Chains A and B, each alone.
Chain A
């Protein structure tokens, strides 16, 4: 809880990398279960990430502006007979943050400097 706001955890970096991978593959938005599945496949893990771990990380990344989210159109979900998804997208700051975090032991202070969500 006392974690520095300018430092990313390894899981958060993996999540962002995964989302960027999806973005480069043509999927610019993702939802919770989809990214959990992608993470499992990429990391060769035996199980899907826990709900709490996943949504806490997504919440924090949203708070510091590395991803942004919107709720999908309820009509689209209704027509497919499922609950509507919360769709996430990596921001430009998020893309820069991953590179900096990888080369700077998780620290992303340089990228976040001037970010309104941290001030």
Chain B
């Protein structure tokens, strides 16, 4: 089979896999087998006509694209009148893992002020000068992220509690805590923007008082953001254990969060006994990246892991004609 045709076949099979996800094994097998037969006949027939492989591949892709609306309607009919979407819980867990990566980055991006005594007034001026749109986007993003983390906690618990109630509850509890911390950090950030606006609008002693209060709030924003980020990272460990134990993701992948945890603990120890903070931050970032890498690998694996499809060996019975 040519590279063109392989790609077209792969595309077709991926689409069939996507829209038949969650149907009964028999329904999925019938549709897969019928489409595979069609692909083979199409390729064979057109090769006999002497059509170039890339033309046949384009024809196949065109047929897939033109049939997509009907595929979706067919899928809904198969689900019945309630149009209930029956997505395997493992794929839901995979999608949530990928969503967690995004949430991790949004959570981490909240911080970043120069809270040192020198130069904090410049930070306040910068914050006050942000446009209302930027402030609103920031606020909504943080609210959505905080609620999203809490929603992900519920999703993980529902998806995985049948496999290990203890680990699923532990991960869910950690994620709820991280979500609440992220929401608190977001609320404090809103307060900080208000204080920044008060700061530029005031002068003299009043301005100094606002600056002191704002600096305390900024330190709290940093602390809660850091806590949310670390709680979120730590919550990935019970997930990694659970998914590895249940062989839902390759077992070797658990080395990543373990290495990440070791790096972060090492960074904590170094920071306790040494004044050298450069290496500590490198170790912290390395630890975080290991966890993020695991989230990406595990998430993609769970989403795209092919579901075993044994080809139907018996003819499929159809309703008898009148």
Contact = CB atoms under 8 A, between A and B. Distances in A.
Interface of A: 1, 31-34, 36-37, 47-57, 59, 62-63, 65-66, 68-71, 74, 82-86, 91-94, 114-117
Given A37-B45, A52-B74, A68 B318 contact: yes
Interface string B57-74: 001001111111111111
Nearest to A51: B67
Contact of A114 (B65, B318, B322): B322
A36 to B, nearest CB: 8
Interface string B33-69: 1111110111011000000000000010011111111
Interface string B110-149: 0000000000000000000000000000000000000000
Among B38, B45, B316: residue with most chain A CB under 10 A: B38
B77 interface: yes
B163 interface: no
A119 to B, nearest CB: 10
A1 B41 CA distance: 30
Contact of A47 (B36, B59, B316): B59
Contacts of B37: 31-33, 82-86
Nearest to B69: A52
Contacts of A49: 63, 66-67
Given A32-B37, A82-B40, A85-B37, A59 B74 contact: yes
A74 to B, nearest CB: 8
A116 B35 contact: no
B320 interface: yes
B3 interface: no
Interface of B: 12, 30-31, 33-38, 40-42, 44-45, 59, 62-74, 76-77, 312-316, 318-322
Contacts of A94: 321
Contacts of A68: 318-321
A65 B322 contact: yes
A56 B45 CA distance: 23
A116 B275 CA distance: 84
Contacts of A62: 318-319
Contact of A86 (B34, B67, B314, B322): B34
Contact of A31 (B31, B41, B319): B41
B69 A51 contact: no
Contact of A33 (B45, B64, B65, B320): B45
B319 A65 contact: yes
B66 A52 contact: yes
B70 A56 contact: yes
Given A70-B315, A84-B33, 8 more contacts: A1-B77, A53-B66, A55-B67, A56-B70, A57-B70, A62-B318, A86-B34, A115-B322
Contacts of B31: 55
Contact of A71 (B41, B70, B312): B312
Contacts of A70: 315-316, 318
B74 A56 contact: yes
Contacts of A66: 321
Contacts of B72: 52
Contact of A32 (B34, B71, B77, B319): B34
5 contacts: A1-B73, A49-B63, A54-B67, A65-B321, A92-B322
Nearest to A47: B62
